[in-house]
Amino acid sequence: MSPVGFVLTEGDVVGADAVGADTVGTAAVRVRGLWKRFGQQVAVAGIDLELPAGRFIGLVGPNGAGKTTTLSMVTGLLRPDQGTVEVVGHDVWRDPAEVKARIGVLPEGLRLFERLSGRELLAYTGRLRGLPGAEVDKRATQLLDVLDLAGAQHKLVVDYSTGMRKKIGLATALLHNPEVLFLDEPFEGVDPVSAQTIRGVLERYTASGATVVFSSHVMELVESLCDWVAVMAAGRIRAHGPLAEVRGEAPSLQRAFLELVGAHGRDAGSDLDWLGGGSR
Amino acid sequence: MSAPAITPVVVRLKLSLLRNGLRQSGGRRAAYVASAVVALLFAALQLVGLIALRGFDHAESLVVLLVAVLGLGWAVMPLFFPGGDETLDPTRLVMLPLRPRPLVRALLVASLVGVGPLFTLCLLAGSVIAVAHGGAAFAVGALAAPLALLVCVALARAVAAANVRLLTSRKGRDLAVLSGLLVAVGAQLVNFGAQRLGSSGLEQLAPAADVLRWFPPASAIGAVHSVGEGAYGAAAAQLLLTAAASAGLLALWSRSLTRLMTAPDGSTLQTGGAAAVRDRASTGLARLLPPGRTGTAVERSLRYVWRDPKTKAAWVTSLAIGLIVPVFNAWQGTGSVYFACFAAGMLGIQMYNQFGQDTSAFWMVAMTISSPRDAYVELRARALALLLITLPYATLVTVLTTAMLGDWPRLPEALGLSFALLGAMLATGAWASACFPYSIPQEGYKNVAPGQTGLAWISLLGGMVAAAVLCAPVIALTIWLNTGAGDGDRLWLLLPVGTLYGAALTLLGLRLAAPRTARRLPEILTAVSKG
């Protein structure tokens, strides 16, 4: 755990430096009274949350906790039943032009335009965002290089592997240099090499003072990457704050999380006593 | 040790899969039962028909051709319906300790179970009765029919096993989506062929049948006929040919099965040769397109017409039907120049449900639309992409129809009506795209996600009725100029009037649709993400 702790402290310092005096106290995202129901099921049950700017923020929780629903509402892809969302001081629903220009999104479970090649997808996204063509092509080349996709840039995205898809999705989200980046399960199903590449890009991005908000159910990952976490379960925020604060006395975030959601102490039981090497 | 028991296990597995498939939903069960009943009724009718054919001239030609087509059907079926039979996919059994020979036997027996083989057997029995003359011929027929069935089934299995890599790949799934087209075009060809046969008689089939009677599985039926004619040598040769074919196919199947079970499959292989994909980026057309969102969206839309199997299938269907209806009618002398509007109408349908065609990738568009202006430019670009294909095509079809009918004086008004209709379709299409979006599932044949059928009907039917109503002024003007105004020398006016009216409708429709699109982005995304 010690290397992780070291990286975190360093991240904290860098973050504090980069944020500087002018952004101290401003929130990247401010959520008030957010609700969403799907029929009988309450997906998000009244969230109030302020995410500080210039941090690497992890939204953690088990499957079905409402992470994706929350991120969709925060990014303007899903209309909340109630509540307001502000991103860098602009209301997502009243001021979409200001917000959409400032955020980058990598959703989970939504397709990309997969019948375009990786390069075409970037060219398309950049031009839709109103960037000049030459600039788009320059940034696309650099992103494809850094994300190790240059060799597959002319392949259709539909033929990409999961890791490659996440990487090209990340590239489209970064292309217009957003202030806040929202990533839904960016490491899900990604091989270690691609994960390391993604990680490197994200760390470089936050070091410059930008904000990353990403969701995950893998605690070790969140613990090693983030300096600020919000824990979600059953549509509510159970805890939020700097990582060390949320982790508290617990030896790891995983433990702290299990205690928060009350899922610890569940044992495999003694029913499987036949399972194991030796006899059949 | 498990070898003797495996055949019944696989047969039971097949029956369970069938039964569980039916258990999933009432609708599916009803559909399956209905299609099975229809298939068996059809088989029974064919049986009766074939028996009735007995003794007619050229009955043998027809029957041989029929069996050959049947064999072809079995050969291409696994390519177009790869998901049809899960026991067909041997890679699912790859983790079990099975030897190839018992496995082939078990899979063969399992594949003889089902509606398809029963249907085929009915048809083959009918064929034998239709061509058999004399006791010896019937005796040979009793052997020939099962043998032909064996060839059909082995053919399907061999083709499937040989193409498993294709079938489980993206290209194979794309192919399956396009198969609906093949059926539609094939039906047109059969229809056309039947009409020609109806007018000039069955003897046209004889040369084809002479060749096909030596090709399995038709050779089995050829053998039955040969025996009836007393040509025992030929019969023996034909029967032997059939037997050899089934043995060969089984061997082939067994070989590719063994290879499949022991070699790495697509999931473990690195896909090679990917670098060979051509870079078609920003070639000629892209440079001609305006910069910004307009050009970008036009380019993407056009790329999707070519690359996305669902979009491609919809376009090709529209293009084909838009051409076939006016031109074939004109050819048969029953048409009218006004039928040429059909092309504009069919292609205008492509404007409907624009965002559904994006699937859930619509979020990428939604993230970049932050004002009604953005939405307007996006919709206008999509209409432009459509016009780039539709305008020349509708003009071509109209000119072609006019030329075939020799009704040149009516060309301007037909064109004017076409363009007015196209404009009305684009306008209502844009509006329906914003108000009634629905998902288009990417897999399978459905074009509407479950639960959204009503929405799709509202969108399409309501839109088409609205488009017709919107066109009413131009239609009325056409009628008035043709009758009321007496002299026909002002009919040319309909071309500019129709064109301008269509353009005005399109712009108005886009203007009305844009603010709705911009307001409803999350709702549209939810609606198109169900597939």
Is A76 in Cβ contact with B529 (below 8 Å)?
no
- Which among A2, A8, A3 has a CA at the least distance from the CA of A245? A8
- Best to test chain A binding among B279, B282, B303, B363 (most A CBs inside 10 Å): B363
Is B368 in Cβ contact with A100 (below 8 Å)?
yes
Q: Does domain A2-261 bear CATH number 3.40.50.300? A: yes
Domain locations in chain A? Answer: 2-261
Is A120 in Cβ contact with B277 (below 8 Å)?
no
Which tokens belong to B245? 């074919």
- DSSP character at residue A156: B
Comparing CB atoms, the residue among B291, B303, B308 nearest residue A133 is B291
Judged against a pLDDT cut of 50, whether residue B278 lies above it is answered with no
Is A105 in Cβ contact with B275 (below 8 Å)?
no
Tell me if A218 sits within 8 A of A192, measured CB to CB: no
Length of chain B counted residue by residue: 531
More confident call, A23 vs B473: B473
Q: Is residue B77 less than 8 Å (CB to CB) from chain A?
A: no
Is A156 in Cβ contact with B279 (below 8 Å)?
no
**How far apart (Å, rounded) are the C-alpha atoms in residues A46 and A34?**
5
- On chain A, the residues whose CB falls within 8 A of the CB of B523 are 79
Which tokens belong to B228? 């009836």
Residue of B nearest to A100 (CA): B367
pLDDT, position A32: 94
Which tokens belong to A124? 């398309």
pLDDT, position A2: 36
Is B522 in Cβ contact with A76 (below 8 Å)?
yes
Q: Which residues of chain A carry a pLDDT beneath 50?
A: 1-24
**Total Cβ atoms within 10 A of residue A252:** 14
What would the mean pLDDT of B506-523 be, rounded to a whole number?
Answer: 95
| DSSP secondary structure string for all residues of B113-138 | SSHHHHHHHHHHHHHHHHH--SHHHH
- On chain A, the residues whose CB falls within 8 A of the CB of B299 are 124
Tell me if B318 sits within 8 A of B397, measured CB to CB: no
What would the mean pLDDT of B123-141 be, rounded to a whole number?
Answer: 84
A277 burial (CB, 10 Å; 0-12 / 13-18 / 19+) is exposed
**How far apart (Å, rounded) are the C-alpha atoms in residues B121 and B220?**
13
**Total Cβ atoms within 10 A of residue A185:** 21
What percent of chain B clears pLDDT 70, i.e. is strictly above it?
81
Phi, psi dihedral angles at B92 (to 5 degrees): -75, -20
- Which among B85, B98, B79, B78 has a CA at the least distance from the CA of B16? B85
Checking DSSP bridges between strand A211-216 and strand A180-184, what pairing results, if any? parallel
pLDDT, position B300: 93
- Which among A101, A72, A75 has a CA at the least distance from the CA of A86? A75
Alpha-carbon gap: A277 to the closest alpha carbon of chain B (Å): 20
What would the mean pLDDT of B348-356 be, rounded to a whole number?
Answer: 91
Which tokens belong to B21? 């498939």
Q: Is residue B487 less than 8 Å (CB to CB) from chain A?
A: no
**Total Cβ atoms within 10 A of residue B203:** 11
- ipTM of the modeled complex: 0.84
**How far apart (Å, rounded) are the C-alpha atoms in residues B186 and A93?**
51
Single-letter code of the amino acid located at B440:
I
pLDDT, position B3: 46
A134 burial (CB, 10 Å; 0-12 / 13-18 / 19+) is exposed
Alpha-carbon gap: A274 to the closest alpha carbon of chain B (Å): 22
**How far apart (Å, rounded) are the C-alpha atoms in residues B358 and B475?**
34
Which residues on chain A place their C-beta less than 8 Å from a C-beta of chain B?
75-79, 96-97, 99-101, 105, 107, 109-117, 119-120, 123-125, 127-130, 133, 151-152, 154-156, 158-159, 172
3-class state of residue A209 by DSSP: coil
B391 burial (CB, 10 Å; 0-12 / 13-18 / 19+) is middle
Single-letter code of the amino acid located at B444:
G
Is A159 in Cβ contact with B365 (below 8 Å)?
no
Which tokens belong to B74? 């079995």
Which tokens belong to A194? 């691609």
More confident call, B46 vs A161: A161
Alpha-carbon gap: A146 to the closest alpha carbon of chain B (Å): 19
Mean pLDDT of chain B: 81
Residue of A nearest to B365 (CA): A128
Which tokens belong to B107? 């899979």
Alpha-carbon gap: A114 to the closest alpha carbon of chain B (Å): 8
Judged against a pLDDT cut of 70, whether residue B483 lies above it is answered with yes
Phi, psi dihedral angles at B363 (to 5 degrees): -60, -30
- Kindly give, in sequence order, each residue whose CB lies less than 8 Å from that of residue B376, ignoring residues fewer than 6 positions away: B510, B511, B514
Tell me if A58 sits within 8 A of A228, measured CB to CB: yes
Is B274 in Cβ contact with A152 (below 8 Å)?
yes
**How far apart (Å, rounded) are the C-alpha atoms in residues B293 and B374?**
8
**How far apart (Å, rounded) are the C-alpha atoms in residues A176 and A184?**
19
Which tokens belong to A266? 């569940």
More confident call, B199 vs B254: B254
Judged against a pLDDT cut of 90, whether residue B501 lies above it is answered with yes
Using one digit for the tens of pLDDT, what is the confidence trace for B174-219?
A: 776 666 666 666 666 666 666 666 666 666 667 777 778 788 888 8
Q: Which residues pair with A86 in a beta bridge?
A: A30, A91
pLDDT, position B434: 93
Alpha helices in chain A (DSSP H): 2-23, 67-74, 96-102, 118-128, 133-146, 162-174, 192-207, 219-225, 243-247, 253-261
Is B525 in Cβ contact with A97 (below 8 Å)?
no
- Kindly give, in sequence order, each residue whose CB lies less than 8 Å from that of residue B279, ignoring residues fewer than 6 positions away: A117, A119, A154
Alpha-carbon gap: A11 to the closest alpha carbon of chain B (Å): 30
Alpha helices in B24-81 (DSSP H): 26-53, 59-80
B286 burial (CB, 10 Å; 0-12 / 13-18 / 19+) is middle
Q: Is residue B313 less than 8 Å (CB to CB) from chain A?
A: no
Using one digit for the tens of pLDDT, what is the confidence trace for B388-434?
A: 999 999 999 999 999 988 888 889 999 999 999 999 999 999 999 99
- On chain A, the residues whose CB falls within 8 A of the CB of B293 are 127-128, 130
Residue of B nearest to A72 (CA): B522
Residue of A nearest to B525 (CA): A77
Name the least confident of A64-73, B90-99, B275-284, B305-314: B275-284
What percent of chain B clears pLDDT 90, i.e. is strictly above it?
24
Give the number of beta-carbon pairs within 8 Å between A and B.
99
Checking DSSP bridges between strand A103-106 and strand A180-184, what pairing results, if any? parallel
Instruction: Record the pTM.
Output: 0.74
Single-letter code of the amino acid located at B359:
T
**What sign has the CA pseudo-torsion A246, A249, A255, A256?**
negative
What is the separation, in whole angstroms, between the first and last Cα of chain A?
A: 39
- On chain A, the residues whose CB falls within 8 A of the CB of B356 are none
Residue of A nearest to B170 (CA): A159
